[in-house]
Chain A
């Protein structure tokens, strides 16, 4: 990367505190495709000049997949360890790159002693647009291009966030087309509830295929996502349908970064 990503440990050593902590998440840290999204979120933070930091190697799984799978022990072990780290750094505000981390830290950590202001990166982008700090200029033009947005369950139904990601797309002057099942009626990509880590039960179709077929019905140039798991499921679906050349699956952060030439 062209700039150094600051860690909490470094900031603390310098006697400084960040405005916001960027919680990267496991997918954002290790998954090759999601790493690109992570870097783009950093580029956006860097571009607008927000003082931010990441935990780096001190970050650890939020425990979300364990909790959805029913392993409350493992979840709470993870949660309490993380809360100890976050509280030690006196963290006040967190932006996450993943709706699952977002939901877990925002809703399930307070009961275990970790209360923070938590936002998802699409909300951060919306705020930056509203404050006039972020526009869509100096980069790739999305003007008039057809984009359909897939609502991640843990952002949409799980937490009622439907507008922020759409706002981030509206600013592009692109042509937003909604799928038949969208917003509160959106269809899951198939990865939630720890499904990401197992084979699906037997049925007549895979959920991500059903979803991608619906997305393709809108004849989009881009399918916009806001979750690394959705990204995997949708990309796999598009590949399976042999549409990789015509349709690109991009995260809202990637689209924003591209539109701003970051």
Chain B
């Protein structure tokens, strides 16, 4: 009974804490500007099923795709086991689903095999990060915290899987001994090999079994509460992020409606624009970006596929699309914290542009869309870069001088170079 109450209290506390932190993140995302992403629900659903559930964009790199698939499937399916743990925990039962008989044995057997594959995959991931030190996991933005974050996640998953397997091994051994309520249920294709390692006294086995059971469930709840502070949030946000991702061709940039109104009024003095609140052009700070950009930032798991295909980054420029996403997330989180502490009107005098992302970075982009294409969860760093450029050009007139010259040429000669419009058709006269 004490165990049941303790279980309930821990589960409830963990759920409430998670809900509070999740709401904070959603509040932060809502600090962004509106963007209409509610059209074509069917197409959106299919995109989410294909890209998030089906992991279609992971296959480009087969080795991590293969390993990630195991961890992903393991995560999703082992949740069925968590459901049993929850019910057992609340009602003080043991292996409540054992009535499923053959199916139960099959399920537990599959969980064990999955747990092993998750364990091995995470171990390989750790080796790739810390021993092989793959280039994709390095870079200026991969400072101490992002590196530790990744290692904590992998290490925790290994611990959770170990506890699960060890729990089953102790349970199986208790079943053989015919101990108390340890009914004969489940099959143990992996943990049977761990049985010999364990002591043979009933008491010790019960302690191990219970210890692992508690460790497993508390570990999962703790992990859940770690998510809002971690890059690992993608396991939840990958789904809405792909659902709300851009369905237009990647080459299409948005047309700014606020500008359309002004241009129309300029070309046609009789044009009366609809009432709109005059805002900033482009983005200086994270709150000037759209909620989709901010959701992108929270979804980013810092895998670095974007940066590894970025032509600017490859050739040694400062720009790294992954850094753009991490900076955006860090800045909007900082703004959120300011609001919590000092109220909604608080200004800290900092901004995304300059305090986080430098001009050198945004002007190095070729808008080639390689980063957008490479992202396994449809994050769009290019849109953020474009918004920052828009601010720099339209609000501050702070473009590189050669860009200003190009724009001057378009204004005066209707071409980006200094040629006379009268000469535009000369090409037809030459051989």
Cα–Cα, bound, A198→B256 (Å): 25
Write the nearest CB–CB distance from B325 to chain A, whole angstroms. 18
Contact with B along A187-223 (1 / 0, CB 8 A): 1101111111111111111110111000000000000
Contact of A76 among B260, B424, B426 (CB under 8 A): B260
A30-B417 contact, Cβ under 8 Å, with A65-B406, A71-B393, A197-B406: yes
Binding site for B on A (CB under 8 A): 1, 4-5, 7, 24, 26, 28-31, 35, 38-39, 42, 54, 56-57, 59-61, 63, 65-74, 76-78, 80-81, 103, 106-108, 111-112, 153-154, 157-160, 181, 184-188, 190-207, 209-211
Range of interface residues on B (Cβ < 8 Å): 35 or more
A157 to B366, CA, bound (A): 13
CA distance A54 to B416 in the complex (A): 20
| Most chain B CB inside 10 Å of its own CB: which residue of A54, A103, A193, A203 | A193
Other-chain contact of B400, A4, A5, A198 (Cβ < 8 Å): A198
Interface flags for B407-431 (1: CB within 8 Å of A; 0: not) read 1001100111101011111111111
Chain B nearest CB: distance from A72 CB in Å? 5
Q: Are B315 and A107 in contact (CB under 8 A)?
A: no
B2 at the interface (CB under 8 A from A): no
- Given contacts A191-B366, A193-B368, A210-B314, whether A72 and B249 have CB atoms under 8 Å apart is no
- CB contacts (< 8 Å) of B315 on chain A: these are 200, 203-207, 209-210
Q: Is the CB of A72 within 8 A of B256?
A: yes
Decide if B360 is an interface residue (CB 8 Å cutoff).
Answer: yes
Question: Given the complex, which residues of B lie within 8 Å of A204, measured CB to CB?
Answer: 315-316
Query: Bound state CA distance, A181 and B311, in angstroms?
Result: 11
Given A61-B416, A69-B403, A153-B369, the answer on whether A203 and B425 have CB atoms closer than 8 Å is no
Q: List 6 A-B contacts (CB under 8 A).
A: A26-B417, A30-B427, A71-B394, A106-B249, A157-B369, A157-B370
| Contact partners of B266 in chain A: CB under 8 A | 77
B351–chain A nearest beta-carbon distance, Å: 16
A107 with B248: CB separation less than 8 A = yes
Contact surface of B with A, Cβ cutoff 8 Å: 60, 248-253, 255-256, 259-260, 262-264, 266-267, 281-282, 309, 311-312, 314-319, 360, 363-370, 372-373, 386, 388-394, 399-400, 402-403, 405-407, 410-411, 414-417, 419, 421-431
Is the CB–CB distance between B370 and A188 below 8 Å? yes
CB distance from B391 to the nearest CB of A (A): 8
For the complex, give the distance between the alpha carbons of A205 and B372 in Å: 23
Residues of A within 8 A of B402 (CB): 197-199
**Closest approach, in angstroms, between the C-beta of A70 and any C-beta of chain B?**
3
Contact check, B281 vs A72: say whether CB atoms are below 8 A apart: yes
The 6 nearest A-B residue pairs measured at CB: A158-B251, A70-B389, A193-B367, A204-B316, A203-B316, A107-B252
Contacts of A42 in B (CB 8 A): 428
Q: Which of A69, A108, A203 contacts B317 (CB 8 A)?
A: A203
Once A103-B252, A158-B249, A203-B316 are accepted as A-B contacts, the answer to whether A69 and B406 lie under 8 Å apart by CB is yes
Contact A38 B427 (CB under 8 A): yes
Whole-angstrom distance between the Cβ of A256 and the nearest chain B Cβ? 18
- Excluding A65-B410, A108-B255, A198-B363, 13 further A-B contacts by CB distance (< 8 Å) are A26-B415, A28-B427, A30-B417, A66-B406, A73-B263, A74-B411, A77-B267, A80-B263, A187-B314, A193-B365, A198-B402, A200-B317, A206-B315
* CB-contact partner of B424 in A59, A194, A197, under 8 A: A59
Given A26-B417, A69-B406, A157-B373 contact (CB < 8 Å):
yes
A196 to B409 alpha-carbon distance, docked (Å): 14
A80 touches B312 (CB 8 A): no
Report the separation of the CA atoms of residues A38 and B427 in the bound assembly, to the nearest whole angstrom.
8
A24 to B405 CA separation, bound complex (whole angstroms):
22
Contact B311 A30 (CB under 8 A): no
CB atoms of A56 and B425 under 8 A apart:
yes
Q: Are B410 and A72 in contact (CB under 8 A)?
A: no
Q: Which of B393, B414, B424 is the one whose CB lies under 8 Å from A69?
A: B393
The reply to whether A30 and B249 form a contact with Cβ atoms under 8 Å apart is no
Report B-chain residues with C-beta under 8 Å of the C-beta of A206.
Answer: 315
Closest to A155 in B: B251
CB pair A70 B427 closer than 8 Å: no
Question: Are A111 and B410 touching (Cβ within 8 A)?
Answer: no
Output the residue of B264, B424, B431 with the most chain A CB within 10 A. Answer: B424
Complex: chain A residue closest to B401, CB-CB: A198
Pair B249/A66 contact, Cβ less than 8 Å: no
Given the known A-B contacts A80-B263, A188-B370, A201-B318, are A194 and B430 also in contact in the complex, defined by CB atoms under 8 Å? no
B407 near A192: Cβ-Cβ < 8 Å: no
Q: B406 → chain A, closest Cβ, in Å?
A: 4
| B367 near A68: Cβ-Cβ < 8 Å | yes
In contact, B410 and A61 (Cβ under 8 angstroms)? yes
Q: Known contacts being A28-B427, A159-B249, is A201 close to B364, with CB within 8 Å?
A: yes
**Could you tell me the distance in whole angstroms from the C-beta of A182 to the nearest C-beta in chain B?**
12
The answer to whether A70 and B366 touch across the interface, beta carbons within 8 angstroms, is no
Taking a contact as CB atoms closer than 8 A, the residue among B312, B389, B416 that contacts A203 in the complex is B312
Given contacts A57-B425, A68-B253, contact A194 B263 (CB under 8 A): no
* Contact residues in B for A112 (Cβ distance below 8 Å): 255, 260
A184 to B264 alpha-carbon distance, docked (Å): 37
